[in-house]
A and B are shown apart, each in its own frame.
Chain A
Amino acid sequence: GAGVSQSPSNKVTEKGKDVELRCDPISGHTALYWYRQSLGQGLEFLIYFQGNSAPDKSGLPSDRFSAERTGGSVSTLTIQRTQQEDSAVYLCASSLGAANTEAFFGQGTRLTVV
């Protein structure tokens, strides 16, 4: 596609429910990243994919968070048993390669846990 696409753009869920957030990177980009933007916390790294593997998961805040990528393309970030502190904007980015290449971001998914 022309840019990084994320869906849904907004998601309201009840505490304790599971949610799935989707990212469709720019075609041909092998690297994919998830970030989270919270009020007062700025932007924080969650996980990085190179192809379908995730060599860096160091930013995932707890084992309730997981992500996968299939076919070297679409990625899904799953949050289980959501908590109110999970409320944030989740941003996905992609780049041509792993290092020294420009990162392009999607519009984000605003998650609200009530």
Chain B
Amino acid sequence: KQEVTQIPAALSVPEGENLVLNCSFTDSAIYNLQWFRQDPGKGLTSLLLIQSSQREQTSGRLNASLDKSSGRSTLYIAASQPGDSATYLCAVSRSGGAQKLVFGQGTRLTINP
């Protein structure tokens, strides 16, 4: 059974810092990995999708990497801003099946002005 773990559970940093969020998964047979952000009381906003054949994806100040063999992904946020404060979730879909996502518990990020 696929399990996804995110460390740390919560992170608080001053504005302007670069930071890394970690995600690990137990079964390397994945189709893809997706990073989302969730603001309080809101749905999920897709940030980045990394296909299983890819090593990384970039969007603006965000960069996500994927190492399937070690079952790890990182989300790098450059020059953090207070507006980046949210819960960040990673999710993997298993290969051979539908896009049934297995989620981590999330990292609650707070950027202090």
- The interface of chain A, by Cβ under 8 A from chain B, is 4, 6, 31, 33, 35, 42-45, 48, 50, 55-56, 59, 91, 93, 95, 98-108, 110
Contacts and interface: CB of A to CB of B under 8 A. Distances in A.
Contacts of A107: 42-43
Given A42-B103, A43-B103, A99 B43 contact: no
A104 B101 CA distance: 12
Contact of B31 (A59, A93, A100, A108): A100
B46 A99 contact: no
Contacts of B89: 43
B98 A102 contact: no
B98 A105 contact: no
Contacts of A110: 41
B51 interface: yes
B36 A31 contact: no
B49 interface: yes
The 4 closest A-B pairs by CB, nearest first: A105-B44, A43-B103, A107-B43, A102-B49
Nearest to B31: A100
A110 to B, nearest CB: 8
Interface string B20-55: 000000000001101010000111111001011000
Given A48-B99, A48-B100, 9 more contacts: A33-B100, A42-B103, A50-B98, A93-B44, A99-B98, A100-B51, A105-B36, A105-B46, A107-B42
Contacts of B106: 42
B103 A91 contact: no
